[in-house]
Amino acid sequence: MRSRGAVAAATVVLAAIVPGADVALGDQRTSAELAYTCAFPAGPHPVKMQVAARFPARAATGAAIRPAEVTTSVTLPEAAVAELTGLRAATTGATTRLTTEVAQNGAAAQALWLGTAPSVPLTSPGGAVFRATGDVPTVTANSPGDLTVTAAGLTLEFRPLTTEGGATDPATLSVPCTPAPGSKGLLATVPIGTASSSPAPTPSTSATAPAAGGASRGTPESAPRIAPPKAAAAPAAAAPKCQGDTTDPLALAAYTTGYSNVTKMGNASLIPVFCSKVVQGPNQLKRIEVRPGVFELHLLQNSVGRLDYQGRAQTPPGPATFLTFGFMPTTATMTLEATGPLSIESDLNNTAGHGETYIRAPLVLHISDVKVNGTPLDVGPNCRTTGPVYSTDPDPARNTKDHLVLLGELKKGADTVWRGYSLSRGGPLDGSVTIPPFTGCGVGEDLSPLFTASVSGPANTVKQNQGAPCASGIEDDPAQLCTADKQPTTIPTPLR
């Protein structure tokens, strides 16, 4: 039940485009040791379970809460292991089914935490330890007030195997467990809404039923809503392959799409869904003096990214209507090719409640498959801008007119909730670029001046939308943001 682990904190992304590190401010890490009595076939045995997790320090009403970095460790005593070896078992895996009770303002609902532990040998004296990972549902509270998460019943299901690798008889063993007398199962308390008040529950018409096998107490309107984990679907056919690096724990992969407006044409060209990959840099916590005696706390991170389409550093070719010769409709295929790595710089100002991510990308615009009024116009294989599209860089020392600059912003509201772009949610990025003159267009006739006259120029706006990334370097994925082969499951829609 471990989440996407140490995928760091900060916010980064790129318009063509790249994710960076997520924000993890104000979290609380909890750890509880639970005592159970488990009904094995020959009699009851004491079993210990250690549960650790990361919860938000507080949340807003209506916000989905998903416990992160959840780990469970079940320890069987030697007497319980002896019952398994009595079945001729040499190894066994286990499935854990932990029932949690989520309560607020006198109402409660139950959520089922599922975990799967790999096989362990049963030959060691002193018992056996099973470390489980799996799916954790989200919780949504509709009312202000403290929300508590408490561990309740537990079921252990074993799949023992003999020395030869065959199944035992029986092939599975299901063991129900009840909390031991005096055992404290509180896992976390999360203040919802205004921390200083505890108003009466607010009715809601969107309450959902508890997880399968659970029940809810109190009125359905006031009970916290439990949402099971979403299935990790395969990427849609329109999205290109985007398989992330599985060898680097700081590797990410994300899908992005958006529009680029061509000012001269008064039209917007769609940039199709593309894949971007990033390796996050180290985080640096820096205390900056903004004026004498006044300091701000900044979280800084510099990362490096790249585009990836069929092994090439570019976006997929996409149709665009961005030329008009007279009144004739003209279409073309547009591709953005990166001529170097993508620089991603994130500055999260926790004191001021504001974060900025700047993405700098050297992208050359290529044009092909041009048709004028449906008739092909042969522009050759090398029709492109003379250099990268470029923005005015906010850093004067880097204003070299050879890269695009995109900005993603994150802000903390009066309710302490951060909104805007973040790595875990994705979000919008904005920029304005100048399109340089064209070169290499035409076969036997230089058509570059026509493209320069029709397309090139300043003040062309770019708006991108990045989906939640797959943390491909992290083995466990309870949020199901990755497919089995480590591709992102979130495919965003373009924003204008």
Task: Name which of 97, 127, 71, 150 is nearest 476 in CA terms.
Answer: 71
Task: Name which of 67, 85, 68 is nearest 76 in CA terms.
Answer: 85
* Ranges assigned E (strand) in 77-224: 91-104, 107-121, 128-132, 138-140, 145-161, 173-179, 186-192
Task: Name which of 232, 254, 251 is nearest 491 in CA terms.
Answer: 254
**Cα separations in angstroms, 393 against 343, 349, 357, 407:** 13, 20, 13, 11
Cis status of the peptide bond prior to 249, with omega within 30 of 0? no
Task: Name which of 281, 217, 228, 207 is nearest 250 in CA terms.
Answer: 281
Any residues with CB less than 8 A from the CB of 432 and at least 6 apart, and which? 391, 392, 458, 459, 460, 461, 462
Spatial contact of 80 and 103, defined as CB atoms under 8 Å apart:
no
Spatial contact of 21 and 254, defined as CB atoms under 8 Å apart:
no
Per-residue pLDDT of the chain (496 residues; tens, 9 = 90+): 433 332 322 222 222 222 233 333 458 888 899 999 999 998 999 999 999 888 898 888 877 787 888 888 999 999 999 999 988 899 988 888 888 888 888 777 777 787 778 888 997 677 899 988 766 777 777 778 898 999 988 989 888 888 887 778 888 888 999 999 888 789 999 998 854 333 333 322 222 222 322 333 333 345 566 554 554 556 665 789 999 899 998 899 999 998 888 777 666 788 899 999 988 888 787 888 888 888 888 888 888 999 999 999 999 998 877 555 555 567 889 999 999 999 998 888 878 888 889 999 999 999 999 988 778 989 999 999 999 999 999 999 999 999 999 999 988 887 766 788 776 677 899 999 999 999 999 998 999 998 898 889 999 999 999 888 888 988 777 667 889 899 998 888 887 6
Backbone conformation region of residue 407, classed left if phi is above 0, alpha if psi is from -120 to 50, else beta: beta
* Ranges assigned E (strand) in 327-456: 328-338, 342-349, 354-361, 363-372, 375-377, 384-385, 404-412, 418-420, 427-435, 438-439
Spatial contact of 483 and 475, defined as CB atoms under 8 Å apart:
no
Tokens of 348: 């999260």
Spatial contact of 59 and 27, defined as CB atoms under 8 Å apart:
no
Residue recorded with tokens 């090719």? 337
* DSSP 8-state symbol, 398: G
Q: Which helix (H) or strand (E) holds 289?
A: strand 283-291
